[in-house]
Structures are given as C-alpha cells and as structure tokens.
C-alpha cells in the first residue's frame, strides 16, 4: 500500500473550462479509452485497448473512488473478499479529477476501487 506512483499518472481537471469554442463535440472523453464510474461500478467493466493507449477514468458520480491496480477475489455476491494492490496505479478519483494511465505492455490488468468492494474492473491491452 505504500507505493503510490503519482509520478506515472496524469491528472487532468476535465471539469474546468478551457474557453475554447468551435469544438466538434462537447464530449471531452473518448468512450473507447474512458472508464466512467456509475452506480458504484466501473463502466465498462472490461475495456480493451491497444498497447500504448492512455486510459482515462472519469468520476461520473459525486462519490470519491480510487483506481487501484492489483489482484482480487470476488465472492458469489459480487463483492471483493480480498485485494492485493500491485503498486502500479493507486490514485484517488473524484468528480473533475480524472485519472489517466498509459498501458504500454499487452496483458490483462485488473483494478478496483479500494473504497467500494463492488467496484472491480479489467483493462485488456492488446499488441
């Protein structure tokens, strides 16, 4: 739990206005690379991206969460019964304070919200 690799992460305040106009879309996040928290879950629960893609987590609710990579076990009720952070990513997530991480190596990366035991997700990184 001690390793909080803030340096690896980019935190951007998406809620702040840039003052720019003329953008084609008001959506600031690409749904193909964004995970949004909703009803105490990560949506989508599994996101597949190519290696080198920056994934962004956005708080879609007013609740504080974390994005914590690591392994976990889930009980029959869908709640985590054990969690083991791997130290890669462990960042607080709240409205207006997105968390981003670039996955450079192919693989299956499991993560969770350390506060809410029902919030578990997977990033699948393809070559």
Site map (CB under 5 A) of Cu ion, residues 98-117, x = contact: ---------------x-xx-
* Residues whose CB falls within 8 Å of the CB of residue 111, separated by 6 or more in sequence, listed in order: 67, 68, 69, 70, 89, 120, 121, 122, 123
Number of residues forming the site for Cu ion (CB under 5 A): 5
Query: Which C-beta is closer to Cu ion: that of 37 or that of 100?
Result: 37
Query: Which C-beta is closer to Cu ion: that of 52 or that of 75?
Result: 75
* Residues whose CB falls within 8 Å of the CB of residue 22, separated by 6 or more in sequence, listed in order: none
Site map (CB under 5 A) of Cu ion, residues 22-61, x = contact: ----------------------------------------
């Amino acid at each position: 739990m001690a390793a909080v690799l803030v340096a690896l992460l980019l935190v951007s305040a998406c809620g702040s206005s840039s003052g720019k106009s003329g953008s084609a879309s008001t959506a600031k996040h690409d749904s193909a690379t964004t995970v949004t928290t909703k009803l105490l879950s990560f949506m989508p629960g599994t996101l597949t991206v190519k290696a080198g893609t920056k994934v962004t987590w956005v708080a879609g609710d007013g609740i504080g969460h974390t994005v914590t990579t690591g392994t976990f076990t889930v009980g029959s009720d869908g709640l985590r019964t054990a969690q083991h952070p791997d130290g890669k990513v462990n960042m607080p997530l709240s409205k207006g304070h997105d968390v981003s991480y670039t996955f450079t190596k192919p693989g299956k990366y499991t993560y969770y919200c350390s506060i809410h035991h029902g919030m578990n997700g997977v990033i699948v990184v393809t070559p």
